[in-house]
Chain A
């Protein structure tokens, strides 16, 4: 595509091209500067403002909200719950999603595409509807999920899912599973099947092939899938709000509460900014680690 541009006469100066590009992108750029960059900056500023029950928001620069988050153990517990739930959901998607992607990849043509659609399709179905489904399955101590597992002899007594972290982890892992399967699937597409055949012909068992040949090659895909799942889980709203109920708060539901119930916007903004900053650090940091670790694969 750039070859066509290069073959244009040299008179088409780069500066003219640059101007054309910026002109085309200008409407979007203006929209994003006005309605993304500026509001985000305003939110950061908001987190430094003061707030009182009767005086409302006072546009001063103080560290009150940040100090409250740092000193009150409630926030430490809430943030650690947020990241604990996200980490567990990520672990489950990896443990179940990686083998599923591998099995999918070994299927024959019509089934392969069909099941890929079945697994990825829920991504486009309303997250409220999907979470409602889990609420129905969990529903109290004699919900369907418990009845089924008890009749199969998997568990002796019912597990509490509603309003617990366990339920949140299960529903989140379900909601995020397509992202993991897709990331691993993409990585599997890049593997040369002949390597697997070569290993088998040299006497490697199927288990050895998976452990020594497949896994090392798809590891970057698994890790990038894990980063996506983790960051989306840590900032998820619908699932923790519906399954966790009103008392079991995570960062996003707490920020929602501060904004729409307590009306302490500056404190809510501080929680949200902290969530954003933590996620940016985690995502950028782990991306850098992965790229350094697997530098040879990215070259």
Chain B
């Protein structure tokens, strides 16, 4: 295979710089010592990170987002693992329809889902509750958990299971001692991706969140709509740092490439 020419490398450099520019700018401005939006040149300051503590609504929204992400990704995994096993193991009538239904939250615009959830939960009397938010998040992150678990279950070597059966393992032992350990990496990365998706979701959540159940992205969005100041950049930089930490852990554990492929394939 031939090498890239200097022109290609120049294009590549420019491309990467533009791709990273908005993220880098947010993180730089977050360290400004000034009271207005500026890129720090002579000194860096943590004053805007300390300022977050004076805005309890950001702290509360952060707590809501963490809880929501942890709970929704956990429940999603509980429901997605058996569904993934069903889709991976059996060929049955209606299998394709089922799989399309489970992946449909990737296809349906999140605005439409947000509206549908808002209408539904308001009609049944759950409007504005944390429970409504939780159920909605389970639906939206479900495809990601399903995809990664499905990939692990499909790629699994079934001979070990056959051996366990022939040695007399019953159904539950088989699952706990053989199947579960084999697909665990897929489950964990599916859980992590589901958590990140829930933690970051704005479009669907903005319809359901009320002042008591605001998540961090919703709080940030509403804040930005009024004015943009260094405070929201330091909040964003913190969110970016948290996401990066999860990503690095995920990369150690499972390999980020596979996770990103599952996310990037959205809509297919």
Answer whether residue B53 sits at the interface, using C-beta atoms and an 8 A cutoff: no
Q: Kindly state the separation between the CA atoms of A177 and B93 in the bound complex, as whole angstroms.
A: 37
Give A231-256 as 1s and 0s: 1 = Cβ < 8 Å from B's Cβ atoms: 11011111001100010000110011
Answer whether residue B170 sits at the interface, using C-beta atoms and an 8 A cutoff: no
Answer whether residue A150 sits at the interface, using C-beta atoms and an 8 A cutoff: no
Q: Kindly state the separation between the CA atoms of A28 and B111 in the bound complex, as whole angstroms.
A: 22
Give B187-206 as 1s and 0s: 1 = Cβ < 8 Å from A's Cβ atoms: 00000010010011011001
CB distance from B159 to the nearest CB of A (A): 7
Check A276 against B228 for contact (C-beta < 8 Å): no
**Which of these, B135, B199, B236, B266, contacts A132 with CB under 8 Å?**
B236
Answer whether residue B261 sits at the interface, using C-beta atoms and an 8 A cutoff: yes
Top 8 closest pairs, chain A to chain B, by CB: A133-B22, A235-B109, A39-B120, A21-B90, A24-B86, A39-B116, A129-B236, A4-B158
Check A46 against B112 for contact (C-beta < 8 Å): no
Chain A residues lying within 8 Å of B108, measured Cβ to Cβ, are: 40, 276
Residues of B within 8 A of A (CB): 1-4, 8-9, 11-12, 15-16, 18-26, 29, 37, 39, 79-80, 82-83, 85-93, 95, 98, 101-102, 104-105, 107-113, 115-120, 123, 135-136, 138-139, 142, 146, 154, 156, 158-159, 161-162, 193, 196, 199-200, 202-203, 206-207, 217, 220-221, 224-225, 228, 232-233, 236-237, 239-240, 243-244, 247, 256-257, 260-261, 263-268
User: Known: A25-B82, A118-B20. Contact between A139 and B37, CB under 8 A?
Assistant: yes
User: Known: A21-B90, A232-B266. Contact between A121 and B115, CB under 8 A?
Assistant: no
CB distance from A95 to the nearest CB of B (A): 12
Answer whether residue A228 sits at the interface, using C-beta atoms and an 8 A cutoff: yes
Q: How many residues of A contact B (CB 8 A)?
A: 97
Q: Kindly state the separation between the CA atoms of A269 and B142 in the bound complex, as whole angstroms.
A: 24
Check B92 against A35 for contact (C-beta < 8 Å): no
Residue of B nearest to A178 (CB): B264
Chain B residues lying within 8 Å of A96, measured Cβ to Cβ, are: 15
Check A116 against B257 for contact (C-beta < 8 Å): yes
User: Known: A100-B12, A228-B268. Contact between A124 and B240, CB under 8 A?
Assistant: no
